[in-house]
Amino acid sequence: MQAKSIHFIRFLAFFFVLTAVFSCNPERQISKKGLKYFDRGEYEWVIQTLKPQVDKNIPGDKSAYWVAESYRLSNRISLALPYYQKAITQATDDPLIQYHIALSAKSIGDYTLCKTALVKFLQTKPNRFYQIKAEIELENLAKIPALIQSKSPVELFPLMGNTPKTEFAAQKIGNELLFTSSSKPLIYKNNGLPFLGLYSAPLLKENEITTPHLFSTQLYKENANDGTPAFSHDGNTIVFARGNTGKSKDPSPDVDLYISKKNGSGWSEPERLAISDSIAWDGSPCFSFDDRTLYFSSNRRGGKGGLDLYRVPVDNSGRFGRPINLGSIINTPGDEIFPFVSENGKLYFSSDGHPSIGGLDLYVASRNENEIYIEHMGTPMNSIGDDFAINLSDPLSGYISSNRPGGKGDDDIYFFKSSGPEEHWWSSDTTRNQAADQLKTVNYALGVQIVQPDGKALAGVRVSVRRNNESSEVFTSDKSGKIESLTLNPGDEINFKSDKDGYISARTSFSMEGREIPQVLLKKEITDTTFQYKIVMDQPEIGKEISQFYQINSIYYDLDKADIRPDAAIELDKIVNFLQDNPQVNLELGAHTDSRATAIYNQKLSQRRAESAVKYILQRGISKDRIKPKGYGESQLINECSDGVDCPEEMHQQNRRTEFKIVQINQE
């Protein structure tokens, strides 16, 4: 009894000490709470929680740094500067803080401080990526006075109807103005504003609207950001961006492109476009004037740096092809976003990687024969703020968006009108000649070697080389496994078909997408660059997955469905080619499910999926005895998402797949 009393007294003593510690350190509890918000991406809550602490100058407290980061990460970098400056005095260990100070200073027009911070940052010898970005910013600073003096031939009017909310990406449709607005009921914790949605308002004048209303209930999702719609010119198709639900277990943690079709007086249920990259930000879509190309912005792998502009061909049936990077003349290590293509083929976009006055500035790209020219659109179209999302209502007028000083909200809409004439708008022979004089030359080449899986050279391989779907050249590999070096041009797509007796014929490809050297990084007038590319050829072996030697990916299915998606059709077409090239090989198409639903149901579902894929291949002329459908249900999950485990949708998606392996080798 006595021993128990002693333990109880000790416990009480510890409890009172612990209570005293925390009651004496409320700031520590506040900081802990703020960091928890930060980890969840709830930046507005971080700011509201930690901002009152900043002026207390508590030893060891880094509230100023987390407030600054929260402003930056919620796209309010102009408000971050004083907090970064305070964080410097609190011995923060972030190696990028001078870089962030530089961009914060630039966003409010303090170019002297921007230059000082960039010089200090480069003295720390940052990694190559940020070194390049800082060097570009430093070089572009010298061009800002000329950009400010360059005047746009327009009058600019703030939209009568802007509010303290966010309004941007406006376009005129009939007698209404359609735009993106932070007007949904729920709050997006990233920036403390309501979620974004698509809204429309009657136009009283070109720069005046009445009360906005929801554009479409079918395109509305309460707890997601929807915006920046692109319409086909017949008005029957819409592509828009959706994502950022603000949930910590959001199955779409970034932004994807969605498509919907006109359905009577409404719209069909939006479906995610297969061209979207599940781990990337894909947004700000735009159709070309003939609807044969979709443009959008993405930070997917293989780009030039931040957000890049891509184009996607659209065939007569409305099927989207493979996204193609627009190249290093347009894309930079910075961000390129919000493309718009005019009737005369000019590409308008926003960028902070090309020389800009503040953050994002507006540019126009035009082509003269084989040359592309980039022109800054001057002031007042551009300002020290972010200027973006241009949309032309006619050849000489339209709308832009900006968070420039003097606006009503976070982002506002502006109407512009030019006195023309159109053929001289944003372009001149002088500008074009200057652009041509500044371009440097890169001679690209490709060295190709054919090897076995162990890396040994493979001689005597017949290699057919097809460039950009044009006529083929045929080479034979020498004793070192090499063929003649190939010259390359920006935008080239090279397809190889490699054949040798006793080996699996292989089709592979090399793309110049994402490989061009940005003009701003070229130091010499002429640069020679050779890429090295290896083609691996293997001998057939039962049980081997063919993705090892063929550029074929597993195919995937939507939840509880066995339909062949457009992205899966692309891979199945490759399977058809594989079977045609390798008549000695038979394949199994092994289909799988995720762990949701019962094991018995999933077994049947996986068999339907396998048979659906086989049916697709049979319809393209392959003999039935060469492919075998096999359903595995949920028995071979490739991650930990088994029954009862809470997993995001993208991890369940990994399990809903069909794979391809060799099950028989026939005598030739």
Write out pLDDT tens, residues 362-395. Answer: 999 987 766 778 899 999 999 999 999 999 999 8
Would you state the pLDDT for residue 506?
Answer: 87
Residue 365 parent element (H or E): strand 361-368
In a 3-state reduction of DSSP, which class is residue 101?
helix
Structure tokens that stand for 373 in this block: 């020219």
Q: Based on the number of CB atoms within 10 Å of its own CB, is 442 exposed (0-12), middle (13-18) or buried (19 or more)?
A: middle
Topology of domain 30-148, CATH: 1.25.40
- Largest separation between any pair of C-alpha atoms in the chain: 99
To the nearest 10 degrees (0 to 180), the angle between helices 63-73 and 43-50 is 150
At the top level of CATH, which class does the domain 441-536 belong to? mainly beta
In Å, how far are 232, 269, 333, 657 from 259, measured between CA atoms? 11, 9, 29, 23
The predicted pLDDT at position 344 comes to: 85
Say what the pLDDT of residue 524 is. 82
List of the chain residues with pLDDT < 50: 1-24, 246-252, 424, 427-437
What does the pLDDT read at residue 363? 95
pTM comes to 0.67
Task: Check residue 74 and give its pLDDT.
Answer: 86
User: Top-level CATH class of 546-665?
Assistant: alpha beta
Q: What is the DSSP letter of 503?
A: S
Domains of the chain, by residue range, sit at 30-148, 149-425, 441-536, 546-665
Could you tell me where the beta strands, DSSP code E, fall in 569-636? 585-591, 627-631
- Quickly name the fold that domain 149-425 has: Tachylectin-2; Chain A (2.115.10)
